Amino acid sequence: VPYRDPGESVLNAPKVRKGVQELDYLIAELNAALPDLPMDPTTRANKNAARVLLMKCYLNKGAFANRTAPTFAAADMTQVITLADQILSSGSYTFSPVYFDAFAPNNGAIGTENIWTQENIGGTSAANLRSRWHSTMHYNQNPSGWNGFSTLSDFYNKFEATDKRRGINYPYTTPGAPPNPGNRVNVGFLRGQQYNLTTDAPLKDRTPDNRLLSFTDEIKIIGREANLEVTGIRAYKYPIDFQYDDNGNVNNDYVYFRLADVILMKAEAILRGGTGGSNAGGYGTTAVGLVNSVRTHASRSASALAGVTLDQLIDERGRELYLESWRRQDLIRFGKFLLPWQEKPTDDPKYLLFPIPNGQLASNPNLVQNPGY
């Protein structure tokens, strides 16, 4: 990470901190700032947002030190548990009745588990959040989209059939939203036949013979089949803001940190040797109890686990936090990132780091390209 000391000349090439050195600096800065931060609102830097970021620093410290073979100090894991208990005991956050409320157009009001978000104001500013659904929707759906991002069937099949995180008919209460019974576009994963938003008539794709728009489980990294318009299970997590979608500035606040992530990180820290936790917030004192407090809540409705291992926990983080930008970090920390999976071969360890752009290397002689690039 390039940096300059306060007051240093901008003509000096920035010095560089690496890995744990930068993480230790970040931890010190967060601890220094935390007493001066407010408790709320969620749309501003606040005490519990700082605590979540500190949790992530301590939890990932071993991976920053050695990405190919992370180790985890018990003292760091205990810090994660202590910070989690401070957040959970605040009583500031609860699970919403509906899982997708955390991401809804009015999530600033009903997203009761959100800890830190980017505020978006319908009709005024939104940082292109509507791309969260336009990137997924087919051209013939309403709203239409790029027919782009899909998930793997192996991931979809990790969800129980009753798990509401896999998708529901979202109960919209915001202006402009059509009724959303049965067949109409839903939130979560889109699989199988898709239907007209207002008439429920089966939609068709754009092939010359007007085939039905029915998303299939099959998908390839590079595909040349005749049915490319429908290959792959589509996924989106932010319920559509029908009122402001055409305006471009939708009302959904972008979610960075939320309650379920805190609970699952505490469970992980316990599995990795952390101690000293309490039943803060009533979510449990054991790893399996904490995980089940998330899984079995009525907003999720997954079955309780009899026990939990690290392998089960990385799967649970996938189910709970999909499309929230934590998966790469999680897979590296759990030692899974380089392994093969559906449509992916074993990867070179160089991919544990991104390459540094040539322009940055040219402008700062203190930077050295990451190995393998």
**pLDDT tens-place string over residues 223-252:** 777 778 899 999 999 999 999 999 999 999
pLDDT score for 183: 64
Amino acid identity, residue 287?
A: A
255 by Cβ neighbours in 10 Å (0-12 / 13-18 / 19+) ranks as buried
| Cβ atoms of 115 and 48 closer than 8 Å | yes
* H helix or E strand, kind and range, residue 269: helix 259-271
State how far the alpha carbon of 355 is from the alpha carbons of 70, 327, 333, 371, in Å.
Answer: 21, 19, 19, 8
Of 128, 150, 148, 152, nearest to 138 by C-alpha is: 148
State how far the alpha carbon of 34 is from the alpha carbons of 59, 276, 330, in Å.
Answer: 19, 22, 25
Residue 94 in this model has a pLDDT that exceeds 70: yes
* Cβ neighbour number for residue 262 with a 10 Å cutoff: 28
CA 187 to CA 164: how far, in whole Å?
10
| Locus of tokens 């005749």 | 226
| Locus of tokens 């449509």 | 343
pLDDT score for 172: 86
311-359 per-position pLDDT tens digit: 999 999 999 999 999 999 999 999 999 999 999 999 999 999 999 999 9
Domain assignments of the chain as residue spans, ordered by start: 16-94+257-295+325-337
Task: Kindly give the pairing relationship between strand 214-215 and strand 233-236.
Answer: unpaired
Residues 252-260 have a mean pLDDT of: 98
